[in-house]
A and B are shown apart, each in its own frame.
Chain A
């Protein structure tokens, strides 16, 4: 990958942010230990919710998919786990506050429109489709709705970051990192003769802020963002995030299943933990999401792209040019950057009248064989014109 020309000052600032990144959250005790209050996500069967409510000191959230986020005495965890009407009790982790560590190459703004190589490579400019009328949720750090390439395109703004997260809240859906804005630009930056252009330049975005300014969040907040998409009837959800642990993903599994049953197409990053095998984590690994691996401009598999079960398709994810905060443009690398290419394509298919199942099927069945193993790139590289061909 291309490394940014980082000055000493900028590195110090970045590292300084890391230093400030101290855990201040309410925190979670080791499950079942002697003291303290712990925040957990609990999945229940009929009747189980009342037992959880009785044990809880605070009920933070109740989900439509038979789960709750509650704070309870750590001593209650094992007791709940033993119940027949409780499916799981998993810790919701602890969030860190602090600034983002910058890792982007800032690119000079130009008066003419640039087509990023990834948009070109997947054939995004070879089709007339625009995704107009389709609703796409970016569940991420938010979206900068004032960016010239996204202006007038953000339909609704939401925040699902929990009340337990320390830090200064920003207006709903507002991006204080730049990750979500970068992702949105690849999905559908406006085709306006300026800046950059995305795969689906006329979709309606919904900014769902589930991650903090540091780009970190809780599974409960991601789950709520996914549930929100299902409640609102949005068509496609972009999930450029991963959990790293094996545990703690039952609530994500529940949330994704809930949304998928209601017709939401879910597109998720494979994760940046490569080179590795069998290392795709949730939500990318789930059968209810399209898991996306990353390639570079020469169709090589990005070394960081996680491989294994769960990778369904690939898209460009190395040195991807897209929208940054304010009027800026940045290059970033990651499976986060590959994912929105597929999200944009899914939006084009939904706009063309394909139902969610047909949309997923066409994306995968028409992917271009670029000569890699299925565990690396799934069915192959996203091919937008082929997916839209009648």
Chain B
């Protein structure tokens, strides 16, 4: 599989009441890239502390229909996956965003503070 470029944007709103994550995945190559999502959860997001403790994960407590979902990125095509961490506790963190695909390895990390 040709690589996909990833970036993870983190937006903390004015009063620190919520944090938004946007994982942008782009096919920067000249060939189409096929991926297969493992189930109905397309992207997952997590927040970890500097000590490596995971304090939030989007998929926690959720369930997903277990059918594969193939998709294709045309050359130059990009996709954005978003999530929101409500009621964050102030602190320094690293956000992790990744696609739940069989091919694996499509992920990005971004440090942020609340």
Contacts and interface: CB of A to CB of B under 8 A. Distances in A.
Contact of A272 (B38, B56, B57, B70): B38
Contacts of A336: 39, 65-67
A247 B102 contact: no
Contact residues on B (Cβ < 8 Å of other chain), bracket:
35 or more
A33 B87 contact: yes
B56 A19 contact: no
Contacts of B43: 18
Interface in A130-169: 140-141
Contacts of B82: 19, 21-23
B87 A244 contact: no
A6 B35 CA distance: 12
Contacts of B79: 15, 18-19
Interface of B: 34, 36-44, 55-74, 77, 79-90, 102
B81 A216 contact: no
Interface in A57-98: 74, 90-96
Determine the main DSSP class of A at the interface with B: loop
Interface in A293-339: 303-304, 332-337, 339
Contact of B83 (A23, A74, A273): A23
Given A216-B62, A242-B63, A304 B68 contact: yes
Interface of A: 1, 3-4, 6, 8, 11-12, 14-15, 18-19, 21-24, 26-30, 33-38, 41, 74, 90-96, 100-103, 140-141, 177, 179, 182, 211, 214-219, 222, 240-245, 247-248, 269, 271-273, 303-304, 332-337, 339
A11 B66 contact: no
Contacts of B89: 29-30, 33-35
Contacts of A339: 66
Contacts of B60: 28, 91, 93, 245, 247-248
A166 to B, nearest CB: 12
Contacts of B69: 14, 101-103
Given A18-B79, A21-B82, A218-B61, A27 B67 contact: no
A23 B84 CA distance: 5
Nearest to B39: A272
A255 to B, nearest CB: 12
Given A15-B71, A33-B89, A92 B61 contact: yes
A240 B73 CA distance: 28
B37 A101 contact: yes
Given A1-B36, A6-B70, A19-B79, A177 B61 contact: no
